[in-house]
């Protein structure tokens, strides 16, 4: 049995933590879940990161909302391609307070910071 989850297997591969269920988040999470259940099996297990890009997107949108989480996911998928990064790349717990909604290119640095700190 798995001691980490109190002897229970997790019910989903996606993030199970608490988050505000706003319409934007629910739309984004639904879109990612739809992708996981349909197209993901056609593409195959080709993600070079842990957690996978769709799991990362699910958690990023749940934690940071559709706008910030969507851009974090977009840049993560970009890093997953040929010549990109690989390995463990978690969603940041918090975002830098200087990152405003009207400067989405700054979210690109979230993945680079997590790799630089390791």
pLDDT digits (tens, 9 = 90+) for 19-57: 778 888 899 999 999 988 888 878 777 778 888 888 899
Euclidean distance between CA atoms 25 and 81, whole angstroms? 26
pLDDT at 118: 46
Strand stretches in the chain, DSSP E = 49-50, 87-88
**CB within 8 Å of 21: residues ≥ 6 apart:** none
Angstrom distance (rounded) from CA 83 to CA 99: 27
The confidence score (pLDDT) of residue 52 equals 86
Residue 87: strand pairing partners = 49
The reported pTM is 0.78
């Amino acid at each position: 049995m798995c001691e980490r989850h109190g002897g229970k297997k997790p019910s989903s591969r996606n993030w199970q933590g608490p988050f505000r269920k706003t319409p934007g988040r629910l739309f984004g999470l639904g879109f990612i879940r739809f992708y996981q259940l349909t197209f993901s099996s056609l593409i195959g297990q080709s993600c070079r990161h842990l957690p996978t890009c769709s799991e990362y997107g699910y958690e990023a949108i749940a934690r940071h909302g559709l706008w910030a989480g969507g851009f974090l996911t977009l840049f993560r998928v970009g890093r997953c391609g040929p010549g990109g990064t690989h390995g463990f790349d978690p969603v940041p717990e918090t975002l830098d307070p200087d990152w405003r909604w009207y400067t989405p290119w700054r979210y690109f640095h979230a993945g680079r910071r997590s790799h630089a700190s390791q």
